[in-house]
A = this chain, B = another copy of it.
Amino acid sequence: MHILIIGAAGMIGRKLTERLVADGRLGNSAIERLTLADVVVPPAPQGFGGKVETVAADLSEPATAARLAAARPDVIYHLAAIVSGEAEANFDKGYSINLDGTRFLLEAIRQEGLRQPYKPRLVFTSSIAVFGAPFPEVIPDEFFTTPLTSYGTQKAISELLLADYTRKGFIEGIGIRLPTICIRPGKPNKAASGFFSNILREPLAGHEAILPVSSDVRHWFASPRAAVGFLVHAGTLDLAKVGPRRSLSMPGLSATVGEEIEALRRVAGEKAAGLIRRVPDETIIRIVDGWATNFDPKRALALGFKADTDFDAIIRSHIEDELGGRIGR
C-alpha cells in the first residue's frame, strides 16, 4: 500500500507518520511506500522498512497536485491548511491553499482517473470551525454549517466538494471534523485557542501559564493521540457504511477550563495547578464566547471513531508521548 500525507510536516502529520511507521500497516494492508509532502520538506521517519519520499509541495500550484496524483497513492491524507488566524488575516492566501489547493487535489485525482481508472481513499481533515454561533448547547450531526471565519468557510466548501467528487465516483472521500487539539505540544503560540493547551503543557513542564478566560468556559477537545486514531480509522473503515454525507464531526471531550485544571491537579499535583496565572483578556473572552462547546457526534460514534475518555487520560498521554513519562519541576 502507498500512502500520501499532504501536510506531513505539521504536528498532526508528524504524529500520523510516526504511528503509521510504528504500525507498519494500515488496516489489513502492509505499508510499502510513504510519500510525505508539505510546503517545507518533511523530516524522513526513522525505522521505516519501505520506500519513503519526502517532497516540498505547494498545493496552491496546480501542477503540484497533478504530480502527487500521478504516483497513484492508495490512500491520501490531506491535512494541509493555512490556519484560522492566518486565513483570516490573509484572505487571498487562505482561499489559495484551503480552497484552491483542495480543489486542485480533487481535480488532479479525477484527471488521473480519466486517464486510467483510479479511485483513492481521500481522508480530509475538516474542523468544527464549519459551525458558526449561535448554536445549540449540543450541536447535532444535522446542524447547518454557517462558518464565521474564512477558514471555516474554506473547510465547509471543501467538505461539499469532497462529497460531490465521492458521489460522482472520482474518489472515496471522508472528511473528519477535528475538535480543538489539546494538549498541543510545542511552544505557546498566539492562537486564541492556545491557552487551552498552555495551561496544561506549561505547568507539566514546570513553567507558568496564563489563563485569559474564566474557569466555566466549556469547549470541545481531542488529544493528539485521539486525532491520529481518527485518521487511522478514517483510513480503514468501510466507507460504504458512511453514505453520501461524507463529513463527520469527530467525537471529542466536552470539558470546562475548570475541569482541565482539576485533572491537572489530580495527575500532576497542587504545585503544577498553582503555576496557572489568571489574567483576563477581553479579546480572547469575546472570541471564545462564539465557539462550540459540545457535540452529539452520533454518526461518528456509530462508525467506530473513539473519543478521549477524560482529561486525566489526555494529560497522561501527553506525559507519555511528549515528556518521556516525567513531569517537569
* Interface residue ranges, A against B (CB under 8 Å): 91, 132, 142-148, 150, 153, 156-157, 160-161, 163-164, 167-168, 244-245
**Shortest Cβ distance from A110 into B: residue:** B91
A91 CA / B167 CA spacing, docked (Å): 12
Known: A150-B164, A161-B157, A168-B91. A142 touches B143 (CB 8 A): yes
Query: Is A146's CB under 8 angstroms from B245's CB?
Result: yes
A158 to chain B, nearest CB (A): 10
Residue pairs across A and B with Cβ atoms less than 8 A apart, 11 shown, are A142-B143, A144-B145, A145-B145, A147-B160, A147-B163, A147-B164, A148-B167, A148-B244, A150-B164, A157-B157, A157-B160
A91 partner residues in chain B, CB cutoff 8 A: 168
Known: A153-B164, A163-B153, A244-B132. A144 touches B142 (CB 8 A): yes
- Please indicate which of the listed interface residues A91, A157, A160 has the most CB atoms of chain B within 10 Å of its own CB: A160
A142 partner residues in chain B, CB cutoff 8 A: 143-144
> How many monomers of this protein are in the complex?
2
A168 partner residues in chain B, CB cutoff 8 A: 91, 150
**Shortest Cβ distance from A132 into B: residue:** B244
A142 to chain B, nearest CB (A): 5
A157 partner residues in chain B, CB cutoff 8 A: 157, 160-161
Query: Is B153's CB under 8 angstroms from A160's CB?
Result: yes
A144 partner residues in chain B, CB cutoff 8 A: 142-145
Query: Is A146's CB under 8 angstroms from B163's CB?
Result: yes
A153 CA / B143 CA spacing, docked (Å): 17
A160 partner residues in chain B, CB cutoff 8 A: 145, 147, 153, 156-157, 160
**Shortest Cβ distance from A141 into B: residue:** B144
A163 partner residues in chain B, CB cutoff 8 A: 146-147, 153
A132 partner residues in chain B, CB cutoff 8 A: 244-245
A145 partner residues in chain B, CB cutoff 8 A: 144-145, 160
A153 CA / B156 CA spacing, docked (Å): 11
A161 partner residues in chain B, CB cutoff 8 A: 153, 157
A10 to chain B, nearest CB (A): 24
